[in-house]
Amino acid sequence: NAGVTQTPKFRVLKTGQSMTLLCAQDMNHEYMYWYRQDPGMGLRLIHYSVGEGTTAKGEVPDGYNVSRLKKQNFLLGLESAAPSQTSVYFCASSYLLGQGYNEQFFGPGTRLTVL
Amino acid sequence: AQSVAQPEDQVNVAEGNPLTVKCTYSVSGNPYLFWYVQYPNRGLQFLLKYITGDNLVKGSYGFEAEFNKSQTSFHLKKPSALVSDSALYFCAVSYPGGYQKVTFGTGTKLQVIP
């Protein structure tokens, strides 16, 4: 199993450009998440999905859109990139097991620089 | 609203000594608490979690954590630190009905000195 994979690993954009980050998981997990990691701020939730075809806003959703057309994929889009979106982006997935809350499995990250 | 605090940006400990990384939380109702570790240029890896039951939770790589409801703390501990334990550690909290959304702390860098 590959686990959680992210594409691309690195990207440099100019202000105003758009791009899509792809997350894929092969563990049949229901829940998927997009986070950004900035120095001194930990991880902040951008958007999340509790199942195929559903998405919801997290803590910092502005400037981002997401789609979950297939259970295994979760796409994060930046329509018009801004320097404030320079960050490391992590995708994660998790599974539902009874009433327990289960750990999240993280991808390796995408390092995005917006000039 | 839920929150988690890691009061120390960095913890230094000598190899072989016990280590503690501190975490306090705030959540309505019963908390679900997690510890994750991040090595350089990698994603986060799960270490352990507290959902219910025994207050002392054991996890991967010899780590353990103690849930203290009265002090709203969930400190990470290890009896004998290894140089390979040097990494960034994150505490996280969630709650029942939260769709497994977790709130992460800002992280504590652990440096184990040979």
Q: Which residue of B has its CA nearest to A59?
A: B103
Is A111 strand, coil or helix? strand
Amino acid symbol at A32: M
B101 to A45: CB separation less than 8 angstroms, yes or no:
yes
Give the B window 92-111 contacts with A, CB below 8 Å.
94, 96, 98-107
B99 to A31: CB separation less than 8 angstroms, yes or no:
yes
Bigger pLDDT: A40 vs A58: A58
Q: Which of B41, B94, B105 sits opposite A101 (nearest CB)?
A: B94
> What is the average per-residue pLDDT within B10-34?
93
Burial B18-45 (b: 16+ CB within 10 A, else e): ebebbbbbebeeebbbbbbbbeeeebbb
B44 to A43: CB separation less than 8 angstroms, yes or no:
yes
Q: Which residue of B has its CA nearest to A96?
A: B100
Residues of A in contact with B34 (CB under 8 A): 103
Give ∠ CA B68-B69-B75 in degrees, rounded to 5: 30
Residue-level pLDDT at A100: 58
pLDDT band at A4 (very low <50, low <70, confident <90, very high): very high
Q: Which of A58, A100, A108 sits opposite B42 (nearest CB)?
A: A108
Q: What is the pLDDT of residues A5-14, one digit of tens each?
A: 999 999 999 9
Burial grade of A47 (CB within 10 A; 0-12, 13-18, 19 or more): buried
Specify whether the CB–CB gap between B110 and B13 falls below 8 A: yes
A101 to B100: CB separation less than 8 angstroms, yes or no:
yes
Report the alpha-carbon distance of residue B51 to residue A102 in Å, rounded.
9
Which of A1-5, A23-27, A107-111, B4-8 is least confident?
A: A1-5
B100 to A102: CB separation less than 8 angstroms, yes or no:
yes
- Confirm or reject contact between B89 and chain A (CB < 8 A): no
Q: Which of A42, A101, A102 sits opposite B104 (nearest CB)?
A: A42
Q: What is the pLDDT of residues B86-112, one digit of tens each?
A: 999 999 998 776 666 788 999 999 999
Give the percent of chain B with pLDDT over 70: 96
pLDDT band at B67 (very low <50, low <70, confident <90, very high): very high
B51 to A101: CB separation less than 8 angstroms, yes or no:
yes
Q: What is the pLDDT of residues B31-60, one digit of tens each?
A: 889 999 999 889 999 999 998 888 999 999
Q: What is the pLDDT of residues A53-106, one digit of tens each?
A: 999 999 999 999 999 999 999 999 999 999 999 999 999 999 876 555 688 999
pLDDT band at A1 (very low <50, low <70, confident <90, very high): confident
